[in-house]
Amino acid sequence: MSKEWRGGSDTRWRAFRAAILARDRYTCQIQGKGCTKTAPLDGGHVDHIVLLSMGGQKYDPANCRAACQACNLARKKAQPQHEPPPKRVSSW
């Protein structure tokens, strides 16, 4: 689990995370540069394919995949950050 994840962890997330890692056989599904190829229960990550900030669903198994720490954090850095809609400054 990423230390940068600000949402914290609860019982529901830990159970969901364990199910995703088991479904993907504790194998990183991204396998990018520097990949360790494993996503163990202790230390493996669950990657949200569509970022939560971009409208992805946190508990949707179709939006999640097992990832090693290196791949998940590298992917996070490469993703464009969600920009909020511009605020209205004045009205005509």
Residue 48 belongs to some domain of the structure: yes
According to the model, what pLDDT value does residue 1 have? 45
Domain count, the chain: 1
DSSP 3-state assignment of 27? Answer: strand
Residue 71: which domain range? Answer: 27-78
Note whether residue 66 is domain-resident: yes
Q: What is the pTM (predicted TM-score) of this model?
A: 0.75
Q: Is the pLDDT of residue 3 over 70?
A: no
CB contact at 8 A, 26 and 44: yes
Residue 21 lies in a domain: no
